[in-house]
Structure 1
Amino acid sequence: MDASASTTSVQPGAAQAANVPHRWRNLAVVSGVSVVDGTEAGLINTVFPTLAVALRLNSGHLGLIAALGKIASVPAGPFWIWLSGRIGRRATLAATTVTGGLFGIAAGFSQNFVQLLICCTLMSAAVIGGSPIAMAVIADSFPDEQRARANGIFFSSLQLAGIVLGPIMAAFVAMQDGWRWALWTLGGVCIVAGFVVLAFFKDPGIGAAEQQLADLTREDRAKAKVTFVSVIGLFRIPTYAVMMLSRLLSGHLLILIFGVQFLVTERGIPNSTAILVALPFGIGYSVATLGAGFILPRLDRLMPSRGRVVMLQFAQIAFGVIAFFGTQFRYETITVYAVFWALLGACQGLNPPVNRPIVAAVVLPELRGQAFAIWLTVFETIGWALFSLLAGALAAAIGIQGVFFWVLVVLMIVNGLLLSVLYFTYPRDVGRVSETLDVRRRQTLSD
C-alpha cells in the first residue's frame, strides 16, 4: 500500500511532528560531537604514513589497526544503545565522546605498535556509540519528509569540518612527532565536546516526530518496550535485511582507510600533499549530501516510495564506474586525482541522506536506536574489518590498486544491483509501520 494513505487520519499530530522543540539545536550538538569523534577515529588513517616511519610499520599494520577497531565496535555499539536506555541518550552521548578522547590521548603516548593498537581499538569502541544515537535522535526530531534534509545537513557538516581540518592535519604531519600532537589535541577536544552535550542537548523523546504520536505525551509514546524478541524481529523486515547485506558489500568505505596510502605508495605523492586530496573529496561529499537532502523530497513526490531507492542505487553504481577510471590508471598530476576524489566523494555523499531515512521509515520508533546500532556498528563494522584485513594482506601481493579494482569497482556495482530488491520491499515495509502507529494512536486515545 502507499505509505501516505495511512497518514490521512492522523493529521492532528502533524504540526507537532514538524516542529519538535530544540530540534535544530540538537542537530547542531550531535553534528559537532560527530565531527570531533569522526575526526579522531579517522586520524590514524590520515597520519599513518608519517607514523609508520616513526614506529617502523607498514600497510598490514594499518589494516590491523582499522580491523580491530571495527571488531571492537561490534559489541560496543549495541552496548552504548543499551546504556542509553538506562541512563538516557544525553548522558550516554557525553560518555562516548569523553571516553574516546581519553583513549585518543593515551594513543598519542604509544611507544610501539602493541600500545598503539590497544589504544586505537579502545578509542574506536568508545566513539562508535555516538553514531546510532545521533541517527535515532535525528529520526525522533524530524518527520520522514524532512529527514533527508536533516541528514544532509548533518553529514555535510562533518565533511565541511574535514575540509577545514585537512590542512591542520597536514601541518601536524610536518611537525616532529606531529602525529602524537594531533592525537593529544583531538582527544582534548573530544572531552570538551562531552561537556557541550551535557550543557545544550535536549532529548526529544522516542517518536516525537511521528504524526501518529507527536501530540501524545512522552509517556504514552514510550509505552512500547524494547525486548530481545523485538530486536531480533528487525531481521524479519525485508528492507532492513537488504540494507544490512548492502552494508556488508559497501566497499567504497575502503577509500577512507587506504586512499592516502594508495596515493603515497603507488603513485609517489608525498604524504603532506596526498592528505590535501581530502579537500576535493570533502567538497564533493558535502555538496552532494546537502543537495541530496533537498532534492530527495521532490524525487519522492515524483516517484512515491521509490525515488530514494533510485538515488541510492545510482550512488553505488556511479561510484564503481568512477573508481575504475580514478584508481586503475596512472596520472601525472595530483590535480587529476583531486577531480576523481571529488567525484568519488560526491557519490559517497549521496548515501547518508537516503539510506538513513530508508531505515528509519521501515523500523518502529522505539527500535531505531537498536536498528542503527546493528546496521552501523555491527554490519558496517564487519564489512570494514573484512575489507581492512583483506586489503592489508592482499596489498602486499597485488598492490592497493588491485585491491581497489575488486572492492571499489566490481563489488560496488554488485551492491548497486542488489538494491533493486528495494523497489518491491520498501513500499510494503513503510506501509506496515504506518499501520502499526495508527493502531497505537487509536488504542492510546481510547484508553
Structure 2
Amino acid sequence: MSIEITMPALSPTMEEGTLAKWHVKEGDKIESGMVLAEIETDKATMEVEAVDEGVIGKILVAEGTEGVKVNAVIAILLEEGEDKSALDKPAAAPPAPPAAPSVSSADTSPASQGGSADEKPISSPTSGGSGHKVADGGGGKAAEGDRLKASPLAKRIAADKGLDLSAIKGSGPHGRIVKRDVENAQPGAAKPATAAPSAAPVEIDHDAPLARYGIAADRYDVVKADGITKIAAKRLSESFRDIPHFPLNVDCRIDALLDFRKRINEAAGEGVKVSVNDILIKAAGLALKKVPAANASWIEDGRIALHRHADVSMAVAIEGGLITPIIFDADTKGLVQISTESKDLAARARTRKLKPEEYQGGTFSLSNLGMFGIQSFSSIINPPQGMILSVGAGEQRPVVKEGALAIATVMTVTLTCDHRVVDGATGAKWIAAFRTFVEDPMTMLM
C-alpha cells in the first residue's frame, strides 16, 4: 500500500513552511534515514529524513512552494512490489469558481432555478449590462474601448524599435503587453516608416506593486522575500504596534572590561578568544538574576510570567534577516563556555542549521551593532520577552574623572522595555546592575 509523505511540523509553533528543495526525484529508491527534502521554517532550513523504505512514486509539491500546511501530502512513496497503478487515485483539485447558471428557454422562472420567486436571475459576466468585460486576447487590446494594455517599459522599447504595439500579442495579465513581448516581436510588427513617434508621457501601470505611490514599474526590481524575512516582518510589525514600549539608555565606561577581556584570553590560552559580546551576555544574565522582576513576559490573559532562568538571545545577522540563538543559563556559565557556544551557534545560524529549540524560548535579547560603528540605537522587542538591549560601539570620549577632564572608552547601551511587565523603575534597576558588571567586571566573579 502506498505511503503518504506529509509536511512535517519542525517546531511546536510551525503551521506552514516552504518546501525549499527536493533531494530525490520520482523513481528514486528510498531507504530509511535518507534526506528527502529541505524545509524552510520561519527561522531555519532543516533536512527531512525518510522513515519508510520504497520508491518515490509521485512528487505532489514542487520545490520552492511556499505556504505548505503542516501534514499536507507532499509526495507518495510506493512500497516494495507496488507500481504506479497505485497512484491512480486522483489528487484533490482546487475548488473551481462557481459557474454562472444557464437559463434555458423552457426554464426561465427564478423559482425553477432553486431560488425564491423574489430573487433575480444572475447575469453572466460576459453579457451586457454592468458585468465586467473580458479582454479579446488579440493584439494586446483591452475590451474597454481601443486602449492598448502595455507596460510603460514595453511602450518605451516599442517606441525605440519603431514597433506597432497593436500588432503584438500580450502575454501578461489580461493580455497586457510586457517587456518580453516587445523584445521577442518579429520584424513584421514594425510600423510603416512615417513621422518619428512623439515622446509619450510616462504612464503608471496600475497593476504594479508601487503604483499607489506613483512609481513606474520600470524604475525598480521586485525580488521575492524568503520565509525568514516575511515572518520577521510580520512578528516585528505586531510587536511594534501591540507592545507599549519605552527606551532607557546609559553610557558605560569599558576600559576595565577591555583589560579584563585581555587577561581572560591570555589565561585561557590558544584556541579561545572571549569577545566583548560574550562578556556582555554574561553581564546581562547576572543582571537578570539580580533584578528578577525584569526577567518577565506578558501573558495575554492579564498574567505575568516570571522566568526562573536567565536565557539570553543574541541577535545574529543572516542572509535575509536576523535570528536569535540562545545562551541558556547565561548567569551560571563561564566566559570560555559562553564564547564557545556563541561562536558555534552563530556559525550554524548563518548556514541555517539551528534546531528550533536553539532559537526559541529566550527570556531576554541582546543586539550588538558596535562592530558597524553605530553609536546608539533602539531595538524592537522580541515577543514574548519583556526587554531587549541595544549595544553601540565603544569609542574614546571626553569624560569627567574626579573633577577633571579625561579620556575614556565609552559604550552607549539602550534598553527597550515592555511597559506591561517592566516599568521605568524596574528597567532602571536592571540597567544600573548591568552597568556595574560592565564597568567593574571583577564583580561578575563574586
**Do they fold alike, i.e. is TM over 0.5?**
no
TM-score interval for Structure 1 and Structure 2 normalised by the shorter chain: under 0.3
Greater relative CO (CA pairs within 8 A, separation 6+): 1
Normalized per residue, which structure has more strand? 2
Structure with higher Rg: it is 2
Normalising to structure 2: TM-score of the pair?
0.21
